[in-house]
Amino acid sequence: QQPVQSPQAVILREGEDAVINCSSSKALYSVHWYRQKHGEAPVFLMILLKGGEQKGHEKISASFNEKKQQSSLYLTASQLSYSGTYFCGTEGSGAQKLVFGQGTRLTINP
Amino acid sequence: KAGVTQTPRYLIKTRGQQVTLSCSPISGHRSVSWYQQTPGQGLQFLFEYFSETQRNKGNFPGRFSGRQFSNSRSEMNVSTLELGDSALYLCASSLVGSLDYGYTFGSGTRLTVV
């Protein structure tokens, strides 16, 4: 089942913070976060694994609540380059595939 | 290193025709997954191949098929095209069949069915 993301859209001024949530009704092994800019491919931001391990390569943080099967992506002191659509992708144990949420469109204005 | 390469970038086909899309993963990546992206449905999983074997398949009709070659390159085929097949088709590769380091997506093939 598709995870639910909230909010669907956010408009911020540069320097403000944002939180994007992702909730699943299924037990998860991992949660991925991707950002897609208009006309471009989704880009991997971060993965959160069951058990607390976190892997990523950008200065963006996230959390994973295993009991609630929820993850949150935290964007602090947002920059114009953060604009885009953010997707969470969830993976069940042994699934080897991601099920993506509908996306959250983030607009950062100067 | 080179990224994931998808060809062609754009396609326009007529209803009833068939189409083949190609994906070359990052060197060393042996798993290739395909997704369909539309404004209404978002990113929908089509199938995943690892070492030339289909390990996972999404909820798409049999008109959608794929394969993977020994060099890890993958193709997907859609037969008897319908208007609703118009979408961006994304290929994603990952290391060794594990998603622990995430997907690397290609730029996609935008298919328009008229």
DSSP-derived secondary structure for chain B: ----EEE-SEEEE-TT--EEEEEEPPTTEEEEEEEEEETTTEEEEEEEEETTEEEEE-S--TTEEEEE-TTS-EEEEE-S--GGG-EEEEEEEEETT--TT--EE---EEEEE-
- Any residues with CB less than 8 A from the CB of A57 and at least 6 apart, and which? A44
CA distance B70 to chain A (A): 20
- pLDDT at residue B57, rounded to an integer: 93
Percent of chain B with pLDDT over 90: 82
Average pLDDT of span B6-14:
97
> Strand order of the sheet with strand A4-6?
A4-6, A18-23, A70-75, A61-65
Tens digit of each residue's pLDDT (9 = 90 or more) over B14-58: 999 999 999 999 998 999 999 999 998 899 999 999 999 999 999
CB A36 within 8 A of CB A87: yes
> B39 in contact with A at a CB cutoff of 8 Å?
no
Q: Indicate the pLDDT class of residue A60, thresholds 50, 70 and 90.
A: confident
Give residue A1's pLDDT: 82
Q: Which of B56, B100, B102 sits opposite A97 (nearest CB)?
A: B56
Instruction: State the nearest Cα–Cα gap between A85 and chain B, in angstroms.
Output: 11
Compare CB distances from B102 to A47, A100, A102 and report the shortest one's residue.
A47
* pLDDT-based confidence at residue A49 (cuts at 50, 70, 90): confident
Mean pLDDT estimate for chain B:
94
Per-residue model confidence (pLDDT) at position B13? 98
Higher pLDDT, A26 or B24: B24
Cβ pair B50:A30 closer than 8 A: no
The answer to whether the CB of B8 falls within 8 A of the CB of B112 is: no
Whether pLDDT at B83 is above 90:
yes
Beta pairing, strands B10-13 & B109-113: parallel
Residues of chain A contacting B33 with CB distance shorter than 8 Å: 97-98
Q: What is the pLDDT of residue A96?
A: 80
Percent of chain B surpassing pLDDT 70: 97
Partner-chain contact B100 A87, CB within 8 Å: no
Give the Å distances, CA to CA, from B114 to A14, A29, A52, B64, B111: 42, 41, 48, 18, 10
* Confidence band of A58 (pLDDT split at 50, 70, 90): low
pLDDT given at position A32: 94
Is the model's pLDDT at A57 over the cut of 60?
no
A53-57, A90-94, B25-29: lowest mean pLDDT where?
Answer: A53-57
Q: Is the pLDDT of residue A62 over 60?
A: yes
**Interface test mutation site (partner A, options B43, B55, B110, max chain A beta carbons within 10 A):** B43
B80 touches chain A (CB under 8 A): no
pLDDT value of residue A55: 61
> Quick count: other Cβ atoms within 10 Å of Cβ B42?
18
pLDDT at B63: 98
Q: Nearest C-alpha of chain A: how many angstroms from B35?
A: 10
Q: Which residue has the higher pLDDT, A95 or A28?
A: A28
Query: Angle at CA B10, nearest 5°, toward A107 and B54?
Result: 90
Q: What is the pLDDT of residue A94?
A: 78
